[in-house]
C-alpha cells in the first residue's frame, strides 16, 4: 500500500517538464521553415527506445532514479515497459500534435532555357560554363548538321534517281520484248489461218439499196482455164496493149513487172516485154534463182536465173569418138552420137571440127570459175565464165570446138565456123552465145560454144533467130 501511495504521489506531483518552454530566438539564417518541425525534433529526441523524454541525458537503465528535472523518484522494478511508455505519453504536452514526417527540401535546380541563354550563365553540376564557350559549341554543332545535310541529301536523291531510271529501262525492255513476242505470235497465227482458209474464201456482195443486214448467197468461184487470163484490170492491160489476147505465154502474176519494164524500156514491143520479163531480165543476174527445169532431158535450161544441183550429173554420159576430140571427152548419149555425125560430115567436106571441152562436174566448174575470179575479178569473170551450178557444161549437152590448128578462142575467124553456122542445126546443135544477145544471156560472144537441143528446136531457132532463153519462155515455160 505504501508503495502504491508513493507512486501515486509521484504521479500527482506537478511536472515541471509540462510547463511550456520559452521560445528560443533564432537567427534568420538558422530559422527552420516550419514551427512544427522544431517541436517534432524535440519530441522525437526525447523519446528513445528506453522511454527517456530528456534528449540531453543518456538512457537510464536504473528504474530507481527519477526521470523528470533531476528529481529522484523510486520506481518499482516491476513496472513494465508499457507503463513507462504511458508515463512518458502523459508527460507530453497536450498542445503537441502528431508530427508529420519531414520532407527533404529539394536542392535548387538550374533550368536551361533558350530564351534566357544570353542573360544567364548555365551551371552544369559544379562547374560554370562561360556563355561564349556554349555559343561556340552550339555554332559548331549547327555547322556540322548543315554539312551533313549538304553531303547526305544529294547522295540519297542520286540513288533514288538511279534506281528509278534503271527501273524504267527494265520496264521498257520488258514491254518491248512482250510486244514483239505478241506481234510475232499474232502474225504466225494469222498466216496459218490464211493458208488454211485460202481455198474457202468466197466473195460476198451486199446490195446497198436493200437491207444491209441481208447478204446474197455465197457463190463458189468458177474454175478458169490456165491459158485464159481473166479478172485483170483493164487499165493495166491497156498499158501493155492487151497483149494477153495475142500470146499464150502471158503470166497474170507478172503484169506489174511488165508495166514497169515497159516504162523503162519503151523501145521494146509488148510481146518482147513479156518475153524478157519472163526470162528474168527485169532483175539483176544471179537473183531470184530457180531450179533448172527439165533436168535429165535435152530441154534442160541452165543460165544465170536457173541453177543445177551440185550433185547433178547425166546418167548416160558417153565418150566422143577420139577421131573428133582432143583426149577423152564425154557428152550425153544423144549429144555424143549427134556430134560424131556432124564432125564426120565436116571432115568429108574438108573441115575439121574437134571437141576440146564437154561435160564438167560442179566441182570442176567451181575451181575454174574461182581461177578466173582471182585472175580478172568477179565482175569480169561473170562475163565469160559461169558460176558453179549455172554452167551448161554440167548438163553434158554443151561442147567447145576448135579446128585442130588455131586456139579455140579464135574459132570465129576460121572457115570451120562458117560451116558450123550453116550446118550445126541439122544435127541438133545451136550457137549458144552471140554478140547481139549478150545482154540476154549475160555472156560475151563465144563462137566456139554449141549446145545440143535436138533437131526440132535447133531447126526452129535457126529459122527464127533467138536465144534458147527466148525459145524456152515462149514454148517450154509453164
Q: What is the DSSP string of 139-187?
A: HHHHHHHHHHHHHHHHHHHHHHHHHHHHHHHHHHHHHHHHHHHHHHHHH
Which of 446, 456, 463, 470 is labelled catalytic? 446
CA dihedral angle for residue 201, residue 206, residue 212, residue 217, rounded to 10 degrees: -60
Distance (Å, whole) CA 67 – CA 1: 22
Give the span between the Cα atoms of 472 and 97, in whole angstroms: 147
The torsion angles phi and psi of 356, rounded to 5 degrees, stand at -115, -20
Question: Is 469 among the catalytic positions?
Answer: no
- Show the DSSP H helices in 13-106 as ranges: 35-46, 81-91
Backbone angles phi, psi at 323, to 5 degrees: -65, -25
Of 135, 131, 126, 3, the residue nearest 73 (C-alpha): 3
Distance (Å) of CA 136 to CA 110, 119, 122, 123: 21, 16, 14, 16
Query: What are the φ/ψ torsions at residue 315 (nearest 5 degrees)?
Result: -85, -15
Residue 437 CA to residue 466 CA, distance in Å, equals 8
Angle at 95 between CA 90 and CA 96, to 5 degrees: 75
| Other beta carbons less than 10 A from residue 121's beta carbon | 11
By annotation, the residues acting in catalysis are 446
Amino acid at each position: 500500500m505504501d508503495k502504491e501511495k508513493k507512486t501515486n504521489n509521484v504521479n500527482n506531483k506537478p511536472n515541471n517538464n509540462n510547463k511550456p518552454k520559452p521560445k528560443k530566438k533564432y537567427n534568420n539564417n538558422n530559422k527552420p521553415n516550419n514551427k512544427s518541425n522544431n517541436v517534432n525534433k524535440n519530441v522525437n529526441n526525447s523519446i528513445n527506445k528506453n522511454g527517456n523524454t530528456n534528449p540531453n541525458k543518456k538512457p537510464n537503465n536504473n528504474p530507481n532514479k527519477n526521470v523528470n528535472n533531476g528529481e529522484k523518484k523510486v520506481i518499482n522494478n516491476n513496472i513494465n515497459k508499457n507503463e513507462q511508455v504511458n508515463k512518458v505519453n502523459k508527460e507530453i504536452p497536450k498542445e503537441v500534435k502528431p508530427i508529420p514526417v519531414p520532407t527533404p527540401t529539394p536542392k535548387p535546380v538550374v533550368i536551361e532555357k533558350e530564351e534566357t541563354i544570353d542573360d544567364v550563365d548555365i551551371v552544369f553540376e559544379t562547374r560554370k560554363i562561360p556563355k561564349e564557350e556554349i555559343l561556340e559549341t552550339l555554332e559548331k554543332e549547327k555547322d556540322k548538321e548543315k554539312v551533313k545535310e549538304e553531303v547526305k541529301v544529294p547522295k540519297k536523291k542520286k540513288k533514288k534517281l538511279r534506281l528509278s531510271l534503271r527501273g524504267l529501262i527494265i520496264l521498257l525492255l520488258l514491254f518491248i520484248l512482250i510486244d514483239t513476242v505478241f506481234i510475232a505470235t499474232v502474225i504466225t497465227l494469222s498466216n496459218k489461218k490464211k493458208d488454211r482458209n485460202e481455198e474457202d474464201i468466197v466473195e460476198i456482195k451486199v446490195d446497198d439499196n436493200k437491207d444491209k443486214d441481208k447478204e446474197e448467197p455465197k457463190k463458189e468461184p468458177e474454175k478458169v482455164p490456165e491459158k485464159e487470163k481473166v479478172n485483170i484490170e483493164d487499165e493495166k492491160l491497156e498499158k501493155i496493149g492487151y497483149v494477153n489476147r495475142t500470146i499464150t505465154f502471158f503470166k497474170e502474176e507478172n503484169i506489174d513487172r511488165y508495166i514497169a519494164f515497159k516504162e523503162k524500156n519503151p523501145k521494146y514491143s509488148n510481146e518482147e516485154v513479156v518475153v524478157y520479163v519472163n526470162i528474168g531480165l527485169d532483175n539483176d543476174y544471179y537473183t531470184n534463182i530457180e531450179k533448172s527445169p527439165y533436168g535429165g532431158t535435152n530441154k534442160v535450161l541452165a543460165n544465170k536465173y536457173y541453177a543445177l544441183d551440185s550433185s547433178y550429173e547425166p546418167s548416160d554420159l558417153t565418150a566422143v569418138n577420139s577421131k573428133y576430140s582432143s583426149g577423152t571427152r564425154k557428152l550425153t548419149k544423144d549429144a555424143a552420137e549427134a556430134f560424131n555425125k556432124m564432125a564426120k560430115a565436116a571432115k568429108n567436106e574438108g573441115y575439121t571440127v574437134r571437141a576440146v571441152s564437154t561435160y564438167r562436174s560442179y566441182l570442176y566448174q567451181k575451181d575454174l570459175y574461182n581461177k578466173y575470179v582471182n585472175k580478172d575479178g568477179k565482175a569480169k569473170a561473170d562475163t565469160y565464165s559461169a558460176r558453179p551450178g549455172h554452167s551448161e557444161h554440167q548438163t553434158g549437152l554443151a561442147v567447145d570446138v576448135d579446128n585442130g590448128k588455131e586456139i579455140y578462142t579464135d574459132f570465129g575467124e576460121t572457115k570451120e565456123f562458117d560451116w558450123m553456122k550453116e550446118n550445126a542445126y541439122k544435127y541438133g546443135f545451136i550457137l549458144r552465145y552471140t554478140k547481139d544477145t549478150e545482154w540476154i544471156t549475160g555472156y560475151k560472144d563465144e563462137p566456139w560454144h554449141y549446145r545440143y537441143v535436138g533437131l526440132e528446136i535447133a531447126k526452129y531457132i535457126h529459122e527464127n533467130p533467138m536465144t534458147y532463153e527466148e525459145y524456152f519462155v515462149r514454148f517450154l515455160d509453164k
